[in-house]
């Protein structure tokens, strides 16, 4: 932005779904004082459907999850590495296959040696796959060394005829990975044991999964900062499940509704994150509700509803909060736009809309730390 100093600016990474000439991956400047995104990106790169991004902790590399499948220019799911310079310039490096179709989510092991990639579906394996992709000491990718498949199905014949792996989330201590299976109404729990077997570092925990209500459709998982609690969006019933988590053992405690009482439309619970201080949790309900719901988080991890705030338009895919907590940004896929909302860091409440910026089918956002 004209006149914006480096101290006022943060770099914002945005991933999106691509059609036609859309670039896919963007880097924008964000003014931390005004809460506005620059009208034009600092950089844009062509890559197919980078619907999810993983930034290495040292910010030397960014890994794009290319959500490809049949009918796309590239019919195979991929993971693409982009190097990131000290001045935050991205450059494409290698890419590897995710071994299935429509990878939708990924996370990195705590030691930075593996990516865990959730593939929603596939021709050979309709239920999709969890693939484990090794990362070397320079951040380079190599071919997947571990593949986990699932055979679940449940109440909804249209969306749950088979398993659908929707997310793979690492616990704060790096010792466990939770894998959400929307089709089987389960979240699988793995122990991460890189030292025991570098090629197959994930081992099933005991018990191996948490069962959710039939037809609920677990989508995404968020952990409390201390790792003692996990929260799961149930996409198909528009809910958030509250879990206790103790050394790999997960126990469901309570389920919260995202839609108001008496709501009869379609549900679509999606993105879920906690504030950096762990005091507030936010979850998006898409479907026919189009709200983001705020909860306060008690000392025991219990959620208390705090606020329901419209998301401006349909199909908000993801959101992120600025490091200072003063703004919350929405990637509104259905409106082809990013939106910036004010946020009160003390109360957790969301305020007015600061800006809406046109962008084709945004799906992911994350701030980079200034160098």
Q: Which of 236, 17, 250, 219 is nearest to 105 (CA)?
A: 219
- Does residue 120 belong to any structural domain of this protein? yes
Q: What is the CATH number of the domain that holds 229?
A: 2.130.10.10
Range of the domain at 325: 9-368
Whether the CB-CB separation of 236 and 217 falls below 8 Å is answered with yes
d(CA 29, CA 6): 10
pLDDT for position 138: 97
Asked whether the CA dihedral 288, 291, 292, 294 is positive or negative, the reply is: negative
Burial of 338 (0-12, 13-18, 19+ CB in 10 A): buried
d(CA 326, CA 345): 6
Query: How many other C-beta atoms lie within 10 A of the C-beta of residue 324?
Result: 11
- Does residue 90 belong to any structural domain of this protein? yes
d(CA 281, CA 297): 7
Structural tokens at position 284: 């998006």
β-bridge mates for residue 54, sequence order: 63
Whether the CB-CB separation of 93 and 81 falls below 8 Å is answered with yes
pLDDT for position 337: 97
pLDDT for position 254: 98
β-bridge mates for residue 313, sequence order: none
Residues in the chain: 371
Tally of domains within the chain? 1
Q: Which of the 8 DSSP states describes residue 78?
A: E
- Does residue 4 belong to any structural domain of this protein? no
pLDDT, tens digit only, all 371 positions of the chain: 555 555 689 999 999 999 877 899 999 999 999 999 999 999 999 999 999 999 999 999 999 999 999 888 888 999 999 999 999 999 999 999 999 999 999 999 999 999 999 999 866 567 779 999 999 999 999 999 999 999 888 888 888 989 999 999 999 999 999 999 999 999 999 999 988 898 999 999 999 999 999 999 999 999 999 999 999 999 999 999 999 999 999 999 999 999 999 999 999 999 999 999 999 999 999 989 999 999 999 999 999 999 999 998 889 999 999 999 999 999 999 999 999 999 999 999 999 999 999 999 999 999 999 97
Query: How many other C-beta atoms lie within 10 A of the C-beta of residue 198?
Result: 13
Strands 129-134 and 337-343: unpaired
- Does residue 2 belong to any structural domain of this protein? no
- Does residue 282 belong to any structural domain of this protein? yes
Structural tokens at position 288: 């026919």
pLDDT for position 4: 57
Q: Please calculate the CA angle 322-323-325 and round it to the nearest 5 degrees.
A: 65
Structural tokens at position 347: 């109360």
Nearest 10 degrees: Cα torsion 36, 355, 277, 118: -100
Beta strands in 196-311 (DSSP E): 202-211, 218-223, 229-234, 239-246, 249-257, 269-274, 280-285, 291-297, 303-310
β-bridge mates for residue 239, sequence order: 234, 257
d(CA 204, CA 160): 23
Q: Which of the 8 DSSP states describes residue 369?
A: P
DSSP per-residue codes, 315-363: -EEEEEE-TTSSEEEEEEGGGTEEEEEEE-TTT--EEEEEEEEE-SSEE
- Does residue 3 belong to any structural domain of this protein? no
- Does residue 1 belong to any structural domain of this protein? no
Residue 334, phi then psi, degrees to nearest 5 = -70, -20
pTM of the complete model: 0.96
Whether the CB-CB separation of 299 and 279 falls below 8 Å is answered with no
d(CA 134, CA 124): 23
- Does residue 262 belong to any structural domain of this protein? yes
């Amino acid at each position: 932005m004209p006149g914006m100093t480096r101290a006022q600016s943060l770099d914002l990474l945005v991933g999106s779904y691509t059609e036609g000439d859309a670039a896919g991956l963007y880097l924008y400047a964000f003014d931390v004082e005004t809460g506005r995104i620059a009208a034009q990106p600092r950089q844009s790169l062509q890559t197919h459907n980078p619907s999810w991004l993983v930034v290495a902790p040292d910010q030397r590399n960014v890994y794009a999850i290319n959500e490809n499948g049949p009918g796309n220019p590239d019919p195979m799911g991929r993971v693409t590495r982009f190097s990131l310079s000290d001045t935050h310039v991205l450059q494409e490096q290698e890419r590897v296959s995710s071994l299935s179709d429509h990878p939708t989510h990924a996370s990195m092991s705590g030691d930075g040696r593996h990516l865990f990639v959730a593939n929603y579906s596939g021709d050979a394996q309709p239920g999709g796959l969890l693939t484990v992709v090794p990362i070397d000491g320079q951040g380079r990718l190599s071919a997947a060394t571990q593949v986990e498949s699932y055979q679940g199905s449940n109440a909804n014949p249209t969306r749950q005829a088979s398993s659908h792996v929707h997310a793979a989330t690492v616990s704060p201590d790096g010792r466990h990975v939770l894998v959400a299976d929307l089709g089987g109404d389960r979240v699988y729990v793995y122990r991460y044991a890189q030292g025991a077997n570098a090629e197959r570092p994930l081992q099933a925990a005991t018990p191996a999964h948490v069962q959710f209500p039939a037809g609920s459709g677990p989508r995404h998982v968020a952990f409390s900062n201390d790792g003692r609690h996990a929260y799961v969006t149930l996409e198909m019933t528009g809910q958030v499940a509250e879990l206790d988590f103790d050394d790999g053992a997960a126990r469901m405690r309570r389920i919260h509704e995202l839609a108001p009482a008496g709501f009869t439309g379609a549900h679509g619970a999606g993105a879920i994150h906690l504030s950096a201080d762990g005091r507030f949790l936010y979850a998006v309900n898409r479907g026919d509700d189009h709200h983001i719901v705020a909860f306060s988080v008690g000392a025991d991890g219990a959620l208390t509803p705090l606020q329901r705030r419209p998301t401006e338009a349909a199909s908000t895919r993801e959101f992120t909060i600025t490091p200072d907590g003063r703004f919350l940004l929405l990637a509104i896929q259905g409106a082809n736009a990013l939106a910036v909302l004010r946020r009160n860091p003390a109360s957790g409440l969301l305020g007015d809309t600061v800006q809406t910026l046109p962008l084709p089918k945004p799906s992911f956002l994350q701030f980079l730390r200034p160098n």
